């Protein structure tokens, strides 16, 4: 890790939900490398602690693990209070936590309503609750960045994940409305739509044949990895994107042009 004290996010505080694994873990590492003090927020407290320890053991990285269920208002309020107590504020919120890898592909009329509700609770209510909790802290500072992690599935209408695709489309609408509402307070809100990204999280529903089909449909002929996304999230978290809000950046290797 380069010297975080000289990084573009030095002095900033960043919260990454779902930071205990996958893309969230990668985002947490990159923001810490850029100088941010990172709160690794995850429902799995052990996973969050592991990632925070990884960051803290690196050269100069600063991180704390914070347990949270983003779908629960009380839990989100407690997380926010813990971060403010630890670091004095919140400058960046990356709304990354989502239900996806555990979902089985099935036709929309076979999706159990309880599963639909759980996906909406985590993937839509979660970012809403986290933004609502962080916004007063950002307003007080007169500055803030909210980065919502949506999905490139919304551009292609991927079948057999109707609840997931719908939830991620909702995040784009949320991004635009929040950007308008929070802009006068100095808070920027943007979204990223990642393509199919290979992480350490097992995905039983993605077969080798499906992986080959994913790559074949992209302009860039290789699997996407977390490193393809961290720079975009870091850009949206940093000062270089200060005059950018309400936007959605698609990063999927050219599978969809947006």
For the annotated catalytic residues, the residue numbers are: 164
Question: CB-side exposure of 105: number of CA atoms within 13 Å?
Answer: 9
Instruction: Dump strand ranges (E) for the chain.
Output: 13-17, 37-42, 62-67, 92-95, 144-149, 187-194, 248-251
Helix spans in 58-207 (H): 73-87, 113-120, 126-141, 153-156, 162-182
Q: Using CA atoms, how far apart are residues 128 and 243, in angstroms rounded to an integer? A: 23
The tokens for 82 are: 């813990």
Question: What SS3 class is residue 197?
Answer: strand
- Angle between helix 126-141 and helix 73-87 axes, rounded to 10 deg: 30
Question: What SS3 class is residue 30?
Answer: helix
């Amino acid at each position: 890790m380069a010297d975080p004290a000289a990084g573009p996010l030095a002095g900033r505080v960043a919260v990454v939900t779902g930071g205990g694994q996958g893309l969230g873990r990668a985002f947490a590492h990159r923001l810490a490398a850029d100088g941010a003090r990172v709160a690794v927020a995850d429902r799995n407290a052990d996973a969050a602690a592991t990632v925070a320890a990884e960051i803290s053991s690196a050269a100069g990285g600063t991180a704390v693990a914070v347990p949270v269920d983003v779908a629960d208002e009380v839990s989100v309020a407690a997380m926010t209070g813990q971060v403010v107590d630890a670091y004095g504020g919140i400058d960046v919120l990356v709304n990354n936590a989502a239900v996806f890898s555990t979902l089985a592909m099935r036709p929309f009329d076979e999706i159990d309503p309880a599963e639909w509700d759980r996906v909406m609770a985590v993937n839509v209510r979660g970012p809403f609750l986290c933004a609502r909790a962080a916004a007063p802290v950002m307003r007080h500072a007169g500055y803030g960045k909210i980065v919502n992690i949506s999905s490139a599935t919304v551009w292609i209408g991927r079948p057999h994940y109707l609840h997931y695709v719908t939830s991620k489309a909702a995040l784009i609408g949320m991004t635009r409305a929040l950007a308008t509402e929070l802009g006068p307070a100095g808070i920027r809100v943007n979204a990223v739509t990642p393509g199919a990204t290979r992480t350490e999280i097992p995905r039983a529903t993605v077969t080798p044949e499906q992986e080959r089909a994913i790559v074949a449909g992209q302009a860039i002929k290789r699997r996407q990895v977390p490193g393809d996304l961290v720079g975009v999230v870091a850009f949206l978290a940093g000062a270089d994107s200060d005059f950018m809000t309400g936007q959605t950046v698609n990063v999927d290797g050219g599978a969809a042009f947006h």
